[in-house]
Every structure is written in C-alpha cells, then in structure tokens.
Amino acid sequence: MNTCYEELKKLYIEFGEDISQNELMIDEELVQLGLKPFNIKQSFLSMVDKWEGIKLDDDYTRIKIARSLTILPVVEAITKIDIPRELKSLLILLDAMINATDDIIDTKSDDITDKVSNAIIIHFGNTLAQKTIFRFLT
C-alpha cells in the first residue's frame, strides 16, 4: 500500500488512541449527565474504514477520499521539502472532518449510530486539530 497512506493512517490512529485514553472519563461524565456512553474511539477510527473502502454489495465499494494522500506527495516532490509531521497530522484530521461533515449532509440515512459517529469525528477532530495547531505554532 502507498507509504504516504500508511503514514497518515498511523497518525490518525494515534489520535484515536489518544481519545481512547480519556474515553472512560468522558463516559463517566456522560452517565452523570444522564446520557448513554458511545464508543468514541470506534467512531473516530471508523473513518479509516471509509478511506479503505466499505463493500456495500458485489458491485459497489464506498470509498471516502483522503485528500492529503494526493496533495502531500505532490507538494513534497515539487518543493523538495519534507512536510512536518504536525502539519500532516492536521491535514489528515481535516480530511476526516470534511468526510464526516459530507456524510451528515449528503446521507439520507436516518441511522442515529452513523450520525453520532460522524458528529464525534467532527467534534473530536476539531478539538485535536486545535491542539495540533497550538503544538505546531509553539
């Protein structure tokens, strides 16, 4: 598989693992608020499945585009500059949030699990993107 893809996937999975470290605390807070905990890590990492393709039937596999896979190798080849890891992290998070937002807007499905999963990707992706920007700038 594409080396750039493997690197970006690894970065994204690291974000999912970072989230899972705090998931128990988040679950406890949700219960205290009277809400049912949701598998946050699984929701976040579900985007990797969408990037790799989900077989819907014998003739159709749904694949979400990770725009960074196209852009990063081209920019690095043209500029002869290695893009910093922090910037790659930010770009893959933006890919995930764009795909999740697109799913919420374009999908006619009323499946609440998918909607919550996409909302989790957007919410935590936004939080992690801000954290990444702050680390990148300092």
3-32: pLDDT as tens digits: 877 888 888 888 777 777 777 777 777 677
Planar angle of CA 57, 63, 67, nearest 5 degrees:
175
**Cα–Cα distance, 67 to 46 (Å, whole number):** 17
Domain ranges of the chain: 3-137
Per-residue confidence band for 119, with pLDDT thresholds at 50, 70 and 90: confident
Question: What pLDDT is recorded for position 12?
Answer: 80
Report residue 73: phi and psi, to 5°.
-60, -35
Whether residue 87 is predicted with pLDDT greater than 70 in this model: the reply is yes
What pTM did the predictor assign? 0.71
Planar angle of CA 68, 86, 40, nearest 5 degrees:
75
Choose between 118 and 45: higher pLDDT: 118
Strands (E) located in 1-138: 54-55, 61-62
Q: Which helix (H) or strand (E) holds 34?
A: none
Mean pLDDT, residues 43-62 = 75
Question: What pLDDT is recorded for position 7?
Answer: 83
Average model confidence (pLDDT) for the chain? 80
